[in-house]
């Protein structure tokens, strides 16, 4: 977060420097208020760039065996540009090395780890083991003791990216 703040300040100073150069090139015919305007727009522009490139940056940091299976895009009122182009605020990654497939009562079942990344003031990462019945599409999260959480049972479609990656 400190580096982001530093980058925002540098972007603002750089944009203000461009405005100063433009004023000098026009022999001060441009108004003085163009300097803080450029500074503010430079800082805002970097912040918008940073927020929209967060997903690609996080994705590039993942190991090659990780597969993005879901993303969430949204908008918030303090980021008015996100109403026009929603930005990715969270995504779920499957650790393909953790997938263990078994046959249980004539049904293919897979156990695997899912990691969820959320964009907040400090990035939040959570992980959880899951079971997926490939015959029915039933997805069950597991607790720390690898016990199924039946209250959180949900069905996923066979066209879902998670199903395709785990049950192929």
Structural domain boundaries of the chain?
1-61, 63-168
pLDDT of residue 121: 81
The one-character DSSP state at 60 is H
**Hey, what long-range contacts does 48-51 have (CB within 8 A, 24 or more apart)?**
48/81, 50/4, 50/7, 50/8, 51/79, 51/82, 51/87, 51/119
Q: What pLDDT score was predicted for residue 145? A: 87
The Cα 71–Cα 92 span in angstroms is 6
CB 162 within 8 A of CB 133: no
Predicted pLDDT of residue 34:
97
Residue pLDDT tens, the chain, 168 long? 788 899 999 999 999 999 999 999 999 999 999 999 999 999 999 999 999 999 999 999 999 999 999 999 988 888 898 999 999 999 999 999 999 999 888 889 999 999 999 998 888 999 999 999 999 999 999 988 888 888 899 999 999 999 999 988
pTM of the full predicted structure? 0.83
Tell whether the torsion through CA atoms of 4, 49, 124 and 84 is positive or negative. Answer: positive
pLDDT of residue 146: 86
- Partner residues linked to 66 by β-bridges: 95
Tokens of 74: 């949204």
The DSSP 8-state label assigned to residue 142 in this structure reads B
Dihedral (CA of 36, 41, 42, 46) sign = positive
Tell me, what's the pLDDT at 107?
A: 86
């Amino acid at each position: 977060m400190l580096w982001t703040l530093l980058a925002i300040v540098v972007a603002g100073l750089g944009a203000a420097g461009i405005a100063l150069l433009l004023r000098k090139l026009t022999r001060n015919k441009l108004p003085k208020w163009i300097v803080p305007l450029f500074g503010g727009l430079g800082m805002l522009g970097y912040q918008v760039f940073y927020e929209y490139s967060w997903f690609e940056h996080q994705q590039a940091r993942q190991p090659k065996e990780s597969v993005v299976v879901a993303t969430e895009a949204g908008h918030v009122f303090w980021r008015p540009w996100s109403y026009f182009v929603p930005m990715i605020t969270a995504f779920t990654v499957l650790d393909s090395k953790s997938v263990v497939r078994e046959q249980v009562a004539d049904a293919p079942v897979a156990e695997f780890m899912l990691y969820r990344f959320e964009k907040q003031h400090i990035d939040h990462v959570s992980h959880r083991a899951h079971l997926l019945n490939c015959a029915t599409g039933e997805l069950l999260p597991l607790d720390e003791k690898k016990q199924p959480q039946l209250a959180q049972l949900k069905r996923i479609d066979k066209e879902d990216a998670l199903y395709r990656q785990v049950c192929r």
